């Protein structure tokens, strides 16, 4: 059978190819720019992976490309940017999917925070904010300092403003109207201070297993650029047990019932607070770190 990808993470193609081959399946990548994957494609033989050049922002073009594939059995959705496109196409072709409703929830940061708050899994909710100077000023006043304002469907830490005083508020007010946003609105929510970690999990039929926890090392505020990641983190046994039950409840609350997930959270003095829930395997080199430290190809779970 053929397993297709609508774009992919920068790293992990070779591991995913190995997992597909071990299961006896072919792997096909649909991409609008194969140069994004040059490092790994240069190390794969032509027969290891079929690459189809197509405008992946065009759902109709992607559907036509998928329709030409032999024995299409699955569609891997490993990126946030193409999550809705992938879920829509999987639903159209009757392929296994996390579900269009779940994809829409995960791509809406207000909805995620609101659900978690209602379920008692977050200490605060979020406000949906039109990307205008006046609306942003009102939202910051309603939430109070410190506040995080971010693109409702943003990725890769783009379109994020940490606002702790009037000066930072005024700077955000100047920048927001000209910002390029993936979502149609902004999110305003309290800033939960603490180091950032991520829970790496695999879920099947609503049951979640914690594969491990990674810590994300950032530069000092206000830039807070991610500089490094370490996996796995050795946490106290009691805290790790709490994280196992907590992450299972978080994923169930947002409707995630099957697949590999990467959930970033702040480790605050009052317990974990979700930063974002990603319905995919972790990006950058975290997938490779998991493979090496756990001594297994975790991408097998993606193929399964």
Nearest to 79 by CA among 59, 105, 110, 106: 106
Q: What is the pLDDT of residue 158?
A: 77
Q: What is the pLDDT of residue 222?
A: 64
Nearest to 122 by CA among 111, 106, 107, 108: 111
Mean pLDDT by 10 residues, the chain (304 residues): 92 92 94 93 85 95 96 89 92 90 92 96 93 90 93 78 92 86 88 94 95 91 80 95 97 95 95 94 93 97 92
Buried/exposed code over 259-273 (b: 16+ C-beta within 10 A; e: otherwise): bbbbbbbbbeeebbb
Nearest to 154 by CA among 183, 115, 123, 120: 183
Spatial strand order in the sheet of 226-230: 226-230, 207-218, 196-204, 259-268, 271-278
Alpha-helical regions (H) of 76-163: 83-93, 100-106, 109-118, 133-143
Name the token pair of 87.
Answer: 């879920």
| Residue 230, helix vs strand vs coil | strand
Residue written as token pair 């994004």: 36
Rounded-to-integer distance, Cα 296 and Cα 303, Å: 14
Nearest to 209 by CA among 201, 218, 200: 201
Rounded-to-integer distance, Cα 31 and Cα 161, Å: 31
Q: What is the pLDDT of residue 65?
A: 97
**What count of residues does the chain have?**
304
């Amino acid at each position: 059978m053929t397993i297709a990808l609508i774009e992919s993470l920068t790293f992990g193609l070779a591991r995913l190819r190995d997992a597909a081959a071990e299961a006896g399946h072919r792997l096909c990548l649909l991409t609008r720019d194969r140069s994004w994957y040059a490092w790994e494609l240069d190390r794969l033989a032509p027969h290891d992976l079929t690459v189809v050049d197509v405008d992946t922002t065009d759902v109709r073009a992607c559907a036509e490309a998928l329709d030409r594939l032999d024995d299409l059995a699955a569609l891997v959705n490993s990126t946030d940017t193409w999550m809705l496109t992938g879920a829509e196409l999987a639903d159209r072709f009757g392929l296994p999917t996390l579900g269009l409703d779940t994809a829409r929830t995960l791509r809406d940061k207000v909805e995620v925070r609101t659900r978690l708050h209602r379920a008692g899994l977050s200490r605060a909710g979020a406000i949906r904010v039109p990307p205008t100077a006046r609306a942003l000023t009102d939202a910051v006043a309603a939430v109070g300092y410190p506040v995080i304002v971010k693109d409702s469907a943003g990725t890769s830490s783009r379109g994020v403003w940490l606002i702790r005083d009037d000066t930072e508020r005024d700077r955000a007010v100047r920048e927001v109207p000209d910002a390029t946003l993936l979502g149609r609105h902004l999110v305003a929510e309290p800033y939960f201070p603490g180091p950032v970690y991520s829970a790496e999990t695999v879920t099947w039929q609503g049951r979640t297993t914690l594969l491990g926890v990674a810590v994300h090392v950032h530069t000092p505020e206000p830039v807070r650029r991610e500089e490094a990641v370490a996996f796995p983190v050795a946490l106290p046994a009691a805290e790790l047990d709490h994280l196992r039950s907590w992450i299972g409840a978080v994923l169930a609350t947002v409707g995630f019932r099957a697949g590999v997930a990467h959930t970033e959270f702040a480790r605050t003095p009052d317990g974990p607070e979700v930063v974002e829930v990603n319905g995919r395997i972790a990006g950058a080199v975290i997938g490779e770190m998991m493979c090496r430290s756990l001594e297994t190809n975790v991408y097998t779970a993606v193929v399964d």
